[in-house]
Amino acid sequence: MRILVVEDELDLQRALVRALRDEGYAVDSANDGEDGFFNAKNTDYDAVILDVMMPRMDGWEVIKQLRKIKRTPVLMLTARDQSRDRVKGLDSGADDYVVKPFDLPELLARLRAIIRRSANKTTNQIELGSVVVDTAARNIMHSGKPVELTAREYSLVEFLALHRGEVVTRTTLYEHLFDEDDSTMSNLLDVHVSNVRKKLGPEFITTRRGHGYCIE
C-alpha cells in the first residue's frame, strides 16, 4: 500500500513517514498543499494523510480539487478540534478526521479502515481458501498457523487480496508497493512474489503472462 503524507510540520511529517514505513507501507511526502495536490493528482495512492493548515494551498482546497478527479481515501489531520471543522472536512470529501495531537495506533487503525472501505471490505479478515489475511493485525494465517512474512511481502499479499479476482499489472504493483525512494528498475517484485509462493504455496499467486498477477 502506498500512502501520501501532506504535512508542513517537518518533524511530524518525518515521524509519520517513519512510522508508516515501519508498518510496511510505501510512503511519499509533501511539505505544502500545492505539492501534495500535484502528487495526489498524478499518482494512484491507496490513501492520503492530509493536514488542514498548510502554505500555498490548505487542506480544504486540496480535497476540494482532488474530489473533482479522484476518490482516493483521505484522512485529514488538524489541530482544530471544533465540530464545524470536522463537519467541514467530512462534507468536503474526507473519509475520516483525526485531531492533533493524536494517538498513533488510532491513526493507523483509521487509515486501515478507510483503505478497507475503499475496497468494499466490511471486515478485517479476508479468506482466501486456507489463507486468512487480517488487515487489522497485519498478519497472515495458513491452515490455522501464522506465517512470517516481511512487511513488503505482507503488503503484496494484502494488495492482491483486496483486489481478489482481478489481474494486477506489474506496473500497478510497483506503483502501490514501492515509494519514490525505492528502486523499481530491478527484480524486487519477482523476489517478493517468489518468497510469498514459498511460504503460502506455489499456486497462491497466479501469473498471467504479459498481464500481471492475481489471487483467484
Question: What is the structure's pLDDT at 118?
Answer: 86
CATH code of the domain covering residue 78: 3.40.50.2300
pTM for the model stands at 0.84
Same domain, 174 and 76: no
Question: What is the structure's pLDDT at 31?
Answer: 96
pLDDT per position as a tens digit, 19-52? 999 988 999 999 999 999 999 999 999 999 999 9
| Angle at 184 (CA atoms; ends 182, 189), nearest 5 degrees | 105
Q: What are phi and psi of 65, to 5 degrees?
A: -70, -40
The pLDDT of residue 82 is above 70: no
Q: Of 85, 118, 151, which one is at a domain's C-terminal end? A: 118
pLDDT per position as a tens digit, 57-79? 999 999 999 999 999 999 999 87
The proportion of the chain whose per-residue pLDDT surpasses 70, expressed as a percent, equals 94
Question: What is the structure's pLDDT at 147?
Answer: 96
**Structure confidence at residue 183 as a pLDDT band (50, 70, 90):** low
Same domain, 136 and 65: no
Same domain, 25 and 95: yes
Q: Which of 86-90, 107-111, 187-191 has the highest mean pLDDT?
A: 107-111
Average pLDDT over residues 117-139: 87
The pLDDT of residue 216 is above 90: no
Average pLDDT over residues 93-117: 91
Indicate the number of domains in the chain.
Answer: 2
The pLDDT of residue 154 is above 80: yes
Average pLDDT over residues 132-137: 90
CATH code of the domain covering residue 179: 1.10.10.10
**Structure confidence at residue 178 as a pLDDT band (50, 70, 90):** confident
The pLDDT of residue 88 is above 90: no
Position with higher pLDDT, 141 vs 84: 141
**Structure confidence at residue 121 as a pLDDT band (50, 70, 90):** confident
- Can you tell me the distance from the alpha carbon of 104 to that of 23, in angstroms, rounded to the nearest whole number? 12
DSSP state of 167: P
Q: Of 87, 118, 149, which one is at a domain's C-terminal end? A: 118
Q: Of 118, 140, 171, which one is at a domain's C-terminal end? A: 118
Same domain, 114 and 12: yes
- The whole domain housing 21 covers 2-118
Arithmetic mean of pLDDT over the chain: 90
Same domain, 189 and 108: no
3-state secondary structure 84-119: HHHHHHHHCCCCEEEECCCCHHHHHHHHHHHHHHHC
| Angle at 210 (CA atoms; ends 207, 216), nearest 5 degrees | 30
Query: H or E element: which one contains 142?
Result: strand 139-142
Average pLDDT over residues 129-151: 92
